[in-house]
Amino acid sequence: MQAAQLVGVRDLRVVDLPSPPDPGPGEAQVRVLAVGVCGSDRHQYLEGAIGDAPARFPQILGHEPVGLVLHAGPGVSGLEPGMPAALEPAIYCGRCEFCLTGHHNVCKNIRFLSNPGEPGFFREFVNLPAENVLPLPPSLSPAIATLYEPLAVALNAMKLAAIRPGESAAVFGAGPIGLLTIAMARLSGATRIYAVDRVPARLELARLMGADCVIDFSAARPDQAILADTSKGGVDVAFEAAGSQESLNQCLRVTRAAGRVLMIGIPAEVTVALEFHEMRRKELALLNVRRQNHNAHMAIRLLAESRFPAGEIVTHTLPLAAVDSAFRLLENYEDGVGKAVITVPD
Assigned domain for 124 exists = yes
CA distance 134 to 77: 13
pLDDT (tens digit per residue) in 80-112: 999 999 999 999 999 999 999 999 999 999 999
Please check whether residue 319 is in contact with residue 343, taking contact to mean a CB–CB distance below 8 angstroms. yes
124 and 181 belong to one structural domain: no
pLDDT at 27: 98
CATH code of residue 194 = 3.40.50.720
Q: Please, which pLDDT band fits residue 149 given cuts at 50, 70 and 90?
A: very high
246 and 282 belong to one structural domain: yes
Q: Please, which pLDDT band fits residue 332 given cuts at 50, 70 and 90?
A: confident
236 and 216 belong to one structural domain: yes
pLDDT at 52: 86
Assigned domain for 303 exists = no
231 and 327 belong to one structural domain: no
The answer for residues whose C-beta is within 8 angstroms of residue 259's C-beta and 6 or more apart is 234, 235, 236, 237, 238, 282, 284, 285
> Residue 346 above 80 pLDDT?
no
171 and 137 belong to one structural domain: no
Please check whether residue 215 is in contact with residue 194, taking contact to mean a CB–CB distance below 8 angstroms. yes
pLDDT (tens digit per residue) in 153-170: 999 999 999 999 999 999
Assigned domain for 294 exists = no
pLDDT at 231: 87
- Torsions phi, psi of 201, nearest 5? -60, -35
Angular region, 180: left φ>0, alpha ψ -120 to 50, beta rest: alpha
Range of the domain at 95: 2-147+313-343
pLDDT (tens digit per residue) in 10-29: 999 999 999 999 999 999 99
Assigned domain for 7 exists = yes
Assigned domain for 302 exists = no
40 and 165 belong to one structural domain: no
Give me the mean pLDDT over the 141-161 stretch: 97
21 and 122 belong to one structural domain: yes
Residue type at 115?
N
CA distance 212 to 183: 11
136 and 204 belong to one structural domain: no
CATH code of residue 90 = 3.90.180.10
131 and 11 belong to one structural domain: yes
What is the average pLDDT value for the chain, to the nearest integer?
95
Residue type at 181?
T
DSSP code per residue over 131-147: GGEEE--TTS-HHHHTT
pLDDT (tens digit per residue) in 173-187: 999 999 999 999 999
pLDDT at 267: 86
CA distance 44 to 115: 10
User: Which H/E stretch holds residue 180?
Assistant: helix 176-187
129-138, 143-152, 194-203, 270-279, range with the lowest pLDDT:
270-279
Of residues 36, 30, 34, 197, the one with CA closest to residue 125 = 30
Assigned domain for 295 exists = no
324 and 256 belong to one structural domain: no
6 and 142 belong to one structural domain: yes
128 and 157 belong to one structural domain: no
pLDDT at 91: 96
Domain count, the chain: 2
**Is residue 277 exposed (0-12), middle (13-18) or buried (19+ Cβ within 10 Å)?**
exposed
